Structure formats: structure tokens, C-alpha cells
Structure 1
Amino acid sequence: MAEPVHKKIKMLITIVDRESGEDVVRALRGEGLHYNMMLMGRGTASSELLDILGLGETEKYVILSFIAEERVRQVMSMLESDHELREAGNGIAFTVPIGSVGGPTTLAFLSQLAERLKEEGSIHGNISKGI
């Protein structure tokens, strides 16, 4: 029987312009974050204010990913350098700690361990059936 998984995970929230969304998701997948949910969003500033400030589109992608705590610095560094999130107006990324999830299978899935556990044959249910 496999040992319980006690890996601290965080939700990574990345907000970028719509034209950058797919590139950011590809980069996150390249870093091993395979569960990424893209949501359409829109900024709240009025068009007049955006024109005065010289800012562009208000349509955004909000990308939700789950990441092991020890990988946060590496992935944030990649986002800052490769996608220029340090530059004003290019987007923002931040993490929120996850206090608990609904069971060990969910934790394994969200913490990117599902494939390793599936290969070892140490988990059951939907993940071992290939979802």
C-alpha cells in the first residue's frame, strides 16, 4: 500500500491578456503543470479611463493551476522572465495556499502525482482507469 501523500500544494492564479493565454498555458504544461483551467475575464476600468492611461484590452484570461509548494519560485521566475509579468500591463501571477482537498485521490491529482501513482499501481478509482 502506498504511503499517504502529504505534499503542500498551492493554487497558481495567472491573469493575462487574451492573446497571451494559450502561450502561458503551454509554458505551464512545459513546467509539468498539466491541470490548467482557463476562464474568460474582463477588467473593470472604464474605456475612458483606459484611454487616458494608455492601457489596452480589458479582456483577460484567468488561468487556474495547481502547483507543489516547492516549485512555486521556479514557475514564477519562468512567468516573470518568459512572459514579462514583471512589466506593468503584461499580467499578474500569485498563489493561494490550499488548506485541504476532498480525499487522497484528489490531492494526488492536483499535486501532479497522479501519473506516478498510476504507474506504480498504488491508487484506484477513476485515475487508475485513465481519466
Structure 2
Amino acid sequence: MTIAEVSRAYDISADTLRYYERIGLIPTVPRTAGGIRDYGEEDCRWVEFIKCMRAAGIQVEALIEYVTLFAQGDSTTGARLQLLLEQRELLLGKMEQMQQTLERLNHKIEHYEQCDRAMRDLRPA
């Protein structure tokens, strides 16, 4: 697939794809004889993985480290596992914080809805 096709398929700009490759967030994408990036299935899986992880708020640096370790082969599976476990703990912490924020928001909304109902009840018919 060309970079334009991958861009459309994953709703990510071509510039972002180039940037991700340049900083090592996705492995180097093979090129055609003419120098055009030629994304294969494995490359697309990387794009999908990185997009998912970034959407969850996982830091670029952690993902670069993961990609670097992956490129080093099977001897790094323990390190990759540890990195993913750490990221999961961070994500769980963020989720807990977001849940607390949501509960607070819901409380505020409920308060204002009650105020709004009370104001409507006071208005003459």
C-alpha cells in the first residue's frame, strides 16, 4: 500500500506516518525501486498498534523503546513484557483518574439539573 492508502485506511496523515517512521515509532517501511514507501501487512499492523497505543495516551518514548526492543529480536521479550506491564499500570492509573473526574462531572451536572428543575417549578404557569 502507498502512504496515501495507509493514511486513508487508518485516518492518519501521511506527514504523521513519515514522522513516526523517522523517529522510530514504526519500523522502517520498505520502498519500491522508485523510492515510494510500500506498506505491507506487517507495516500496517504496526501503524494500527501505534495508533491504538497513542490514542490511549501511551507516551511516544515508551513506544519507541518497544519498537527498538522488538527489532533486537527474541532476546528482548522479557524487557518488552516489562515495558508493556509498566504502561498498563500507568494506563490503569489514568483510567481511575478519569473515572473520578467523570463522577465529579456527573455530580455537577445532577446539581445543575436539579437547580434547573427547581427554577422551572417556580415560574408561573
> Shared fold by TM > 0.5?
no
Question: Comparing both structures, which one devotes a greater share of its residues to strand?
Answer: 1
Kindly indicate whether structure 1 or structure 2 has the higher relative contact order, using CA contacts under 8 Å at least 6 residues apart: 1
TM-score between both structures, scaled by the size of structure 1: 0.25
TM-score between both structures, scaled by the size of structure 2: 0.25
Question: Comparing both structures, which one devotes a greater share of its residues to helix?
Answer: 2
Which has the larger Rg?
2
